[in-house]
Amino acid sequence: MKTIVVIPTYDERENVAPMAKAVLATEGVELLFVDDNSPDGTGDAIDALAKEEPRVHCLHRKAKEGLGRAYVAGFRKALDLGADLVVQMDCDFSHDPKDLPRLIAAGEGGAGLVIGSRYVPGGSTPGWPFKRRLISRAGGLFIRTVTGMPVRDPTGGFKCWSAATLAKIDFETVASKGYSFQLEMNHRAWKAGVSIREIPIAFTDRVCGYSKITPGIAVESFKIAIRLRFG
C-alpha cells in the first residue's frame, strides 16, 4: 500500500530537513509538505529537498488559511498522487516519526482511521505542566460527553487515514479551518461507522521554531463540539 505523510508548514525552515530525514527513515513512505507561503523561506527549503529526494513533494499555497484548509489541500494532493494511506503529523517533532510504522501497520491491518493517542494506556505527555494536562484532559472529556464520540484523544493530530475513509466522509466539505479540524474529521469518521483505532504515543513540546497554539483554539474546539452535537 502506498503511504504519503502530509505535513503542513508555516515558518518551519529549521525543521523541514531533519523532519524529512526522520520520516523517510520509514521504508517506502513518501512525504508531502503543504507550505502556506512561509515568510521565513520554508517553501524554498522544501523545494531544495525535493530536488535531491524524489520521495519529497511540496504543495505551495498562496496564503495562510488555517490548519484545516492546509490539510484538506494536502489530503487531496496525496490522493491524486495515488496514496492508499494518508498520515498527518506536525513538523515540530511533537509527533515522533519513529511511531510512523505502528500507525501505518494499523492502517494496513484494516483500521479506517488510526489515532496516535496521548490518553490511551501507554500514551503520555512528557514535560507538560500540570495545568496544561488538566486543561487538555478536561477538554477531551467535555468533547466526548457533548458529542458522544468514544475517542480518548479527540483533538490529537497524529493520524493515519485510509483513502476509502477520506472518500466516505467527504473530507473536502469539512467546515473547520483551524485546529478543530481534527475534532470534526474524527466525528465524521465515527458517524460514518469507520473502524477507529487509537494507539499510544508520547507527545512532546517542539524543540525549534515557535508554537502556533493560541487560547482561542480551545474555545473553537468547544464551539465545534456543541455544533456537532446540536447542529
Task: State what percent of residues in the chain have pLDDT above 90.
Answer: 77
Question: pTM for this structure?
Answer: 0.92
What is the C-alpha to C-alpha distance for residues 152 and 119, in angstroms, rounded to an integer? Answer: 6
Least confident among 112-121, 175-184, 205-214: 205-214
Give per-residue pLDDT as tens, 93-141.
999 999 999 999 999 999 999 999 999 999 999 999 998 888 888 888 8
d(C-alpha 43, C-alpha 57), whole Å:
11
With a cut of 60, say whether residue 210 has pLDDT above it. Answer: no
- d(CA 119, CA 206) in angstroms, rounded, equals 19
From the number of C-beta atoms within 10 Å of its C-beta (0-12, 13-18, 19+), residue 62 rates as: exposed
3-state secondary structure of 58: strand
3 state SS of 198? strand
Average the pLDDT over 136-163 and give the result: 93
* Domain span at 86: 3-230
Q: Name the pLDDT band for 157 (thresholds 50, 70, 90).
A: very high
Distances (CA, A) of 84 to 30, 54, 157, 193, 201: 12, 18, 19, 19, 23
pLDDT tier for residue 190 given thresholds of 50, 70 and 90: very high
The confidence band for 61, taking pLDDT boundaries of 50, 70 and 90, is: very high
Q: Which of 6, 132, 16 is nearest to 80 (CA)?
A: 6
Residue 55, Cβ density class (10 Å: 0-12 exposed, 13-18 middle, ≥19 buried) = middle
On average, the pLDDT of the chain sits at 92
Domain count, the chain: 1
Question: Cα separation of 116 and 98, whole Å?
Answer: 12
Mean pLDDT across the stretch 204-212? 58
- Which CATH number belongs to the domain containing residue 111 in this structure? 3.90.550.10
Q: What are phi and psi of 164, to 5 degrees?
A: -65, -40
pLDDT above 70 covers a percentage of the chain that reads: 93
Angle between helices 181-191 and 67-80 (to 10 degrees): 50
Greater pLDDT, 229 or 56: 56
Region 194-207 average pLDDT:
89
